[in-house]
Amino acid sequence: MMKIYYALNYEGSREESRRLLREALARYTGESGSDPTCRMSKEIQTTAKGKPFLSGGPDFSVSHTGQYWAVLMDDRPCGLDIQKWQPSNFLKLAFRFYNKDEYLEVKEKGEAEFFRIWARREALRKAEGESVFSEAPSVLWNRVVSEDQFWEIRDITMPFDLAAAVCIGVREEDIPEEIEMERL
C-alpha cells in the first residue's frame, strides 16, 4: 500500500528527518518507533547507487523543501519529490536538463510545468537510485520504462501548494492504485 506521511513545520536537520522517518515507519508497520526492535532502529543502508533503504523494511523515499517534509512508503521501489516554487531561470534549466519534448512543454506552458516535470523526473530518479541530473526517459507520460523496469509516475496534490510527484515500480499489467496521506 502506497502511503505518504508529511510534516508542515520541518526545520531542516538530519536528526529531525530521521525522527520523522522513524515515526512514519512506526505508523506504516504498526511498530513502536521507540521499540529497540523497530526496523528503524537498524542502520539505514545505501545501495551501490546511493539510495537509502532499510534491510527487510518497506521501500521509502524522503523529500523536503522549505518547511515541508514528506516520505512515501511502499513494498515496491518508490520515489517521491516535493518542490516549492522558487524564482529561477527555468527555461535555461529545462534546456540543460530536460529532453526536447519536456523542454518544449515548459516553453509552451511556463514555470508551473517546469516544476511539475522536475518533480516527476526527481521521483523517477529517486525510485531508481539515480541522480536527477543523469539522463532519463521522458516523464511526460504516466508510464515509462527505464532500466528494463516499468514505472508509474503520478502528479499528486499535497495539503500545501507545491509541485509533487510519486513514482512506483510496477509490472506492465498493474493498474494504478490509491495513495493514502497522513500528517505526522
pTM of the model: 0.90
Helix (H) or strand (E) holding 69: strand 68-74
Instruction: Answer yes or no: CATH 3.40.50.150 is held by domain 3-183.
Output: no
- List the chain domain ranges: 3-183
Q: Is 139 helix (H, G, I), strand (E, B) or coil?
A: coil
Q: Quote the CA–CA distance of 164 and 52 in Å, as a whole number.
A: 20
125-136 per-position pLDDT tens digit: 999 999 888 889
pLDDT tens for the chain, residues 1 to 184: 899 999 999 999 999 999 999 999 999 988 765 554 555 555 778 888 888 888 888 999 999 999 999 999 999 999 999 999 888 899 999 999 999 999 999 999 999 999 999 999 999 999 999 988 888 999 999 999 998 899 999 999 998 889 999 999 999 888 888 899 999 9
At which residue does the C-alpha cell 516549492 appear? 84
Task: Retrieve residue 170's grid coordinates.
Answer: 510496477
Give me the pLDDT at residue 120, please. Answer: 98
Alpha-carbon separation of residue 147 from 33, 78, 137, 144 (angstroms): 35, 14, 10, 10
Q: Is 183 helix (H, G, I), strand (E, B) or coil?
A: strand
Q: Quote the CA–CA distance of 24 and 156 in Å, as a whole number.
A: 19
For residues 180 and 4, the answer to whether their CB atoms sit within 8 Å is yes
8-18 per-position pLDDT tens digit: 999 999 999 99
